[in-house]
């Protein structure tokens, strides 16, 4: 079930997913990088965040979206490895397209770490293409036009 984030219910799980799945890639570029839960929650406050509660009422995955410079930015996306391969990530990506359409935005962008090959394959499978590489961050900027 896809729904909007409920902070008291979802933030603990979202923080765990960020710490476990996203932070290690960011730390490859910035080894001293630390994120506490307050920082993650503050970042989520700036986003429209959806969770997929495939695990009953508990979030199995989430996507955090921002309107930025006339386009939609996928700020963060993570799916619990226990639930990967079950279509959750694809449902979350579809929600990003719906959100872009709701706001009349014609482009979705995201950053993906150079070493996160699994994520790169996932995004390419969903029609995203690399348009820029940021050497300092060791990240690719991917984009997709929205119909």
Domain ranges of the chain: 2-145
Query: Mean of the pLDDT values across residues 84-98?
Result: 96
Please say whether the dihedral angle defined by the alpha carbons of residues 79, 115, 99 and 7, taken in this order, is positive or negative: positive
pTM above 0.85, yes or no: yes
pLDDT digits (tens, 9 = 90+) for 105-121: 999 999 999 999 999 99
Q: What is the pLDDT of residue 12?
A: 95
Which residues neighbour 115 within 8 Å (Cβ) at sequence distance 6 or greater?
25, 28, 138
Is the Cβ–Cβ distance between 88 and 79 less than 8 Å?
yes
Residue 93 has pLDDT above 90, yes or no: yes
Give the mean pLDDT of the chain: 93
Percent over 90 (pLDDT), the chain: 80
Find where tokens 């940021």 sit: 134
- Look up the CATH number of domain 2-145: 3.40.630.30
pLDDT digits (tens, 9 = 90+) for 26-40: 777 777 777 789 999
């Amino acid at each position: 079930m896809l729904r909007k984030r409920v902070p008291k219910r979802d933030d603990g799980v979202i923080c765990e997913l960020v710490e476990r799945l996203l932070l290690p890639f960011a730390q490859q570029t910035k080894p001293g990088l630390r994120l506490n839960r307050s920082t993650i929650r503050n970042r989520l406050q700036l986003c429209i965040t959806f969770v997929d509660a495939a695990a009953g009422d508990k979030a199995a995955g989430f996507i955090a979206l921002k309107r930025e410079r006339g386009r939609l930015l996928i700020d963060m996306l993570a799916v619990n490895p226990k639930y990967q391969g079950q279509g959750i990530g694809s449902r979350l990506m579809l929600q990003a397209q719906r959100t872009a359409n709701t706001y009349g935005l014609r482009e979705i962008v995201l950053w993906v770490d150079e070493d996160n090959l699994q994520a790169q394959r996932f995004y390419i499978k969903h029609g995203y293409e690399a348009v820029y590489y940021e050497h300092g961050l060791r990240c690719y900027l991917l984009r997709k036009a929205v119909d």
